[in-house]
Structure 1
Amino acid sequence: MGHGGDVIAELTTDHREIKDLFKQFSDTRPGSEDRKRLVDVLTIELVRHFVAEEEYLYPAVRKHLKEGDALADKELAEHARVEQLLADLQQREPGDLDFDRLMVKLRTEVTAHVDDEENHLFPRRRNGVHSYVLEELGNKVRQAKKTAPTRPHPGAPSTPSTPPVNKLLAPGLGMVDRVRDYVSGRGQ
């Protein structure tokens, strides 16, 4: 991921790619290794996307939008639920009984999150923030995704009071995750 444009265009394109990965998953044979590979790719993309949103989008939401704190807190809570589902999926094999059930839950959570962002948060961002700021946020989000972790870290700080900690930890966790991915062939 890394497409160009303002923050809304960037994140909306991410959403389309994530939706396509869910479709690919649905089109594969239950229990197949292709499903595990697709879950790995989906996890990588979702985690990178979430980290970028948490580092740059949600702090801007807090700063620029009325009721921004409540909106950002809601989005962060959704991220935490999805990250926990991703962590649970990473512990399962495609033939496990819980694997498909967890995927249905994940798809439901992510779809609701995407719909909420695209239908409520993004229009408010577009109307409430200068286009220059949106472009700058798009650049920052693209940069953040390059160094973001690729594995869920549900215990890592992501509360409203700790975004600076996230910005410090994400590149280090990202580097460790990418080394692990390279060695294991995950996401290839």
Structure 2
Amino acid sequence: MRQHGDIRNQFDAVEQSTGEARRDAFRRLVHLLAVHETAEEEVLHPLARTAFDGAEKVVEARLAEEKEAKELLARLDGMDTDDPKFLPELATLRTEVMRHARAEERYEFIHLRRTASSAQLATMARALEAAEKTAPTHPRPGTESATKNALLGPLAAVVDRTRDAVRKALGH
């Protein structure tokens, strides 16, 4: 849930900046969202699927939201942040991401907290942190499952992190 606040703050940073500062803030947002969603798909959603009655439908709805958000984010990731269409598209993404975060908190996280022991929650937190360290740093629409992330994630992460390093070295 802390990361949901970090994401909200990063949207603010992108919206309130211009030029190179906006590009940098947007890169940080893309990274944060891609890593965050991958970790949830690998760890949180699989555990939630069996944690409470009706969980399967709740998780499927969250995964559909994540796919839509990844598609929007991928489109934005290919745009110039100075493009006049960028901020309106970003506003749409923000609305969708914040709606998704509220749904996770209200329909998924609350049930996990009620049904999991403190030891299980601590283990889940460590697993989320580990997943974030190896997650792709750019959106991958269509990989909204632990299996797909396990198969495609490591290669995508290497490609993404290499691309990020090159961009940084070239000042793009």
Please give the TM-score of this superposition, normalised by the length of structure 1: 0.84
Match of 2:164 in 1: 181
SS of the aligned residue for 2:49 comes to helix
Distance in 1 between residues matched to 2:167 and 2:127, nearest whole Å: 29
Q: Count matched residues.
A: 171
The root-mean-square deviation of aligned C-alpha atoms, in Å, is 1.8
Alignment of 1:4-43 (within 5 A): 12-29=1-18, 32-43=19-30
Alpha-carbon displacement from aligned partner over 1:78-132 (angstroms, at most 9, x marks no partner): 1101101111101211222221111000110111111122233211111122221
Residues 100-179 of structure 1 aligned to structure 2 (within 5 Å): 100-155=87-142, 157-159=143-145, 163-179=146-162
Amino acid at match of 1:138: A
Which residues of structure 2 form unaligned runs of 5+? none
Q: Please list the CA deviations of residues 144-185 of structure 1 after superposition, one character each: whole Å capped at 9, or x if unmatched.
A: 000000011114x325xxx32322321221121111111111
Rounded Cα–Cα distance in structure 2 between residues aligned with 1:119 and 1:64: 14
Shifted more, 33-42 versus 84-93: the winner is: 33-42
- For 1:174, the aligned partner's letter is A
TM-score (norm 2): 0.92
Q: Does 1:65 align with 2:52?
A: yes
Return the letter of the residue paired with 2:161.
R
> Which of the residues 50, 58, 70 maps onto 2:37?
50
Residue 17 of structure 1 aligns with an amino acid whose one-letter code is D
Point out where structure 1 has 5 or more consecutive residues left out of the alignment: 1-11
* Structure 1 runs (4+) greater than 4 angstroms displaced: none
Q: How high is the sequence identity, in percent, across the aligned residues?
A: 33
CA distance in 2, matches of 1:183, 1:44: 15
Letter in 2 for 1:15: H
Q: Over residues 25-44 of structure 1, what are the superposed CA-to-partner deviations in whole Å (9 max), with x where a residue is unaligned?
A: 22224xx2322221111010
Q: Is the 8 A contact 2:59 2:108 kept in 1?
A: no
- 8 Å contact 2:35–2:136 — kept in the other structure? yes
